[in-house]
Structure 1
């Protein structure tokens, strides 16, 4: 199996919305973004699938060394070998790949965030940085596009947090800021016990409104000159926003006991429509 095929399989197995946005890209761009996505999945899986925190930290440190190997021209893992041809060609910053690992490691040390500003820092590392790297891969002619990419990454991560509240609670994690739980009078115990209260519904409606505002801000920040090169990001935005709309329509309190996901056919339809209308 080639490094590119390894990354392709990793992306396909995830069933992620990101995978659908890659389908229409030119081959070289698709290989680069798929390798980046596979890298993110690898380091995310370290945290999600390793039950011993010490083992997870050791593995993340291995990945930090592997990033160093990549930039020294000696990658060992299929993912970094797939990334290698694109690093110099696209000037992908080494520090940003390391920041993604730093963000994943935060899940080993922090299960609560006191304020939204604290949560934003986590979201920046695990999502906005990925947005910045992705934008570079797709093609940037105006630096304002990086503002769009950073905001869109934050919107994506907030959508993930909203969608996965119940799933995260089963892992003992609550990403919703403590300050906002208190404002809406939602005890952490209610979330950990999956209680669909009216206060929790109001809290989640507030989270959805914030995510929707970030999508609007991101799209308004995208310069017209880069709209076509960034179509893959717009596809992701369409799928994520549709997911958010479904959660809102279904009842935002239900995220505690069910994980809403769009069907593959609907994702493909949204991808096709957004790509050709962008």
Structure 2
């Protein structure tokens, strides 16, 4: 399997929604996008691959060293690393933005609570908005596409929705992404989230969190028409945010008992529908 095919396969297995969204991008830039998102998938999955933070820190440092040209071992033997470096070279991707993404996911290795909504927005900005920004650079063939504000709001909306749908998986490993101030505001305790108690207070808390995501989604959609048409495919994934939020807001929905993600056929339909709005 070629490095290019490996990245596409990894993405299809571990981040199918982004893989599907990439199908709407121009063919000549799909390889770069797959490399970027495969790298992100490698970083996101580190928490699931280690039993304690230190080995995770070591893995993250390897990626930092790679970007700085100091990685040990044969990088050519790592398909994702090889493809990422090729994309960085072709599209002049800023290494600082990739390093920021790595640093953001250091938080994932620990069980510390984010303290406020602002902290959560900051985390999503570094972990998700940076991806929208980097994807835009790829689609602009390395040029400056502008639209930094768009990437910022898009990342926070997509990030919060993604974290909400993974609440059960995070709780199972002792991790919570709901900010501490929101937990306290609704009279909840950390143990309530870890034990998955689907109380009225829990539903109200997640409804408020969804409201934050929707605010950023609405702002991003207002900014989208002003973005260059060449970078529009970078934002097709936004088409899944509203359906996800609606699914999780249904009466009787229990995020700790029910599947939060959309079926693949529905994801494909929503992505296609959103792509029509971007033309």
**Fold shared, TM-score > 0.5 on shorter chain:** yes
The answer (yes or no) to whether the contact 1:191–1:256 under 8 Å persists in 2 is no
Unaligned ranges ≥5, structure 1:
none
How far did 1:162 drift?
Answer: 1.5
- Report the Cα distance in structure 1 between the residues aligned to 2:166 and 2:242, rounded to whole angstroms: 15
Paired with 1:16 and 1:183, the residues of 2 have a C-alpha distance of 35
Matches within 5 A, 1:136-215: 136-139=137-140, 143=146, 145-215=147-217
* Structure 2: tracts of 5 or more residues without a match: none
SS in 2 for 1:249: coil
SS at match of 2:68: helix
How far is the alpha carbon of 1:251 from its aligned partner?
A: 4.4
Distance in 2 (CA, whole Å) between partners of 1:87 and 1:187 is 44
Q: In the TM superposition, what whole-angstrom CA distance separates every residue of 1:86-142 from its partner, at most 9, and x where no partner exists?
A: 323322100111111111111224521111122222222211111211121222765
CA drift at 1:157 = 0.9
| TM-score under structure 2 length normalisation | 0.90
**1:78–1:246: structure 2 CA closer, same or farther, 3 Å change rule?**
same
Is 2:22 aligned against 1:7? no
Check the 8 A contact 1:17/1:240 in 2, yes or no. Answer: no
Correspondence for 1:17: 17
1:218 lines up with 2:223 in the alignment: no
Asked if 1:268 corresponds to 2:276, the answer is no
For the residues of structure 1 that align with 2:234 and 2:107, how far apart are their CA atoms?
A: 26
| Partner Cα distance (1:251, 1:67) in 2 | 46
Distance 1:256 1:186 in 2: 16
Aligned to 2:50: 50
RMSD over aligned Cα atoms: 2.1
TM-score by length of 1: 0.90
